[in-house]
Amino acid sequence: MSIIIHEGLRAYIDPLTEHEYAALERSILTEGCRDALVLWGEVLIDGHNRYAICQRHNIPFKTIQNDHFNDLEDVQLWMIDNHLARRSVSDFQRGMLALRKKEIISMRIKAQDENGTSGNEETDIAVPVVKPTQSRQDIARVAGISSNAVLQIEKIQRAAAPELVQAVRDGTISISAAAAVATLPSNEQAAAVAGGRKELQQAAKQVREKIREQKAPAKTSKLPDSQDAENPSDTNNGAMDQVSESVILQQRIKALEAENAALIEKITQLNAALSAATATN
């Protein structure tokens, strides 16, 4: 049987670590390839590591077909759900996969809205209705992690240097610490990664301390003299924190803009559906 390796699909899911790959290889050498490889036609869509190990050691394997896909995006969505169902996937990988799923679905909805159709008119194949996974809570539910972790992963995805992203994947640094280090310039991130775990932890600590220092109490308007004399502590009780450093504020603004865009897309979709229903009636 001819098996085609699609490089885009193979690179779509994060590779195993050296330890994980070695453990899988030992298992296959001892017990054989117990799980069948999954093919879409001749394209391998699940079992790339097992296939490589079996080829290297001339170990027989089984294959099964999954032909329920219309295009490559269907395959990618299936791969994401397939990996999210596995317990061995880290929280960071889960968050990244859920964000990729959001991106694919958002692009599909946008394309459907632009085309004004929900099906393939040439082949009469119904395109499944897809719901936008836009809110941070939705993404967290898909990934099986907290919404705060999703926020931190979004920060890493947006601003982290490649070296820092790899450090999170390897487990050298936690998601929360990496989100803090990601606010530094790329060259400082790379230098922290090169310094190892302790250097990364120290960099994250310094960033957090800097943010806390910049959250100084804001000045409040003075009370009348008589009230000041009677309640000298009121000024302290009514004090408010100043705005955090500009990078944190910008990230919040971007998050709100993204949520606003998501609401606009939902409203557009609902209006399109209502117009279609009215035209039918």
Cα-Cα-Cα-Cα dihedral sign, residues 102, 104, 108, 110: positive
pLDDT score for 261: 72
pLDDT score for 239: 38
Q: At 46, is the secondary structure helix, strand, or coil?
A: strand
Phi and psi at 47, nearest 5°, equal 110, 30
| DSSP secondary structure letters along 224-253 | PHHHHHH-TTHHHHT--BPP--HHHHHHHH
The answer to whether 34 and 54 are in contact (CB under 8 A) is: no
**In angstroms, rounded to a whole number, what is the distance separating the alpha carbons of residues 146 and 109?**
26
DSSP β-ladder status, 119-120 and 63-65: unpaired
Extents of the domains making up the chain = 1-67
pLDDT score for 236: 42
pLDDT score for 172: 93
pLDDT score for 88: 80
Q: Please list, in sequence order, all residues whose beta carbon lies within 8 angstroms of the beta carbon of residue 92, skipping any fewer than 6 positions away.
A: 153, 156, 168, 169, 175
At 84, which amino acid appears? L
Cα-Cα-Cα-Cα dihedral of 240, 243, 245, 247, to 10°?
150
pLDDT score for 248: 52
Q: Please list, in sequence order, all residues whose beta carbon lies within 8 angstroms of the beta carbon of residue 12, skipping any fewer than 6 positions away.
A: 76, 79
Give 120's strand partners. 125
pLDDT score for 221: 47
pLDDT score for 240: 35
Phi and psi at 169, nearest 5°, equal -60, -35
- One pLDDT digit (tens) per residue for the chain, 281 residues: 689 999 888 877 778 888 889 999 999 999 999 999 999 999 999 999 999 999 999 999 999 999 899 999 999 999 999 989 888 889 999 999 999 999 888 888 888 888 775 544 444 444 444 455 568 888 999 899 999 999 999 999 999 999 999 999 988 999 999 999 999 999 999 999 999 999 999 999 999 999 888 876 544 445 454 444 444 443 343 333 333 345 555 666 666 677 777 677 777 766 666 666 566 55
Terminal-residue alpha carbon distance, the chain: 53
The answer to whether 51 and 61 are in contact (CB under 8 A) is: yes
The answer to whether 42 and 2 are in contact (CB under 8 A) is: yes
pTM of the model: 0.65
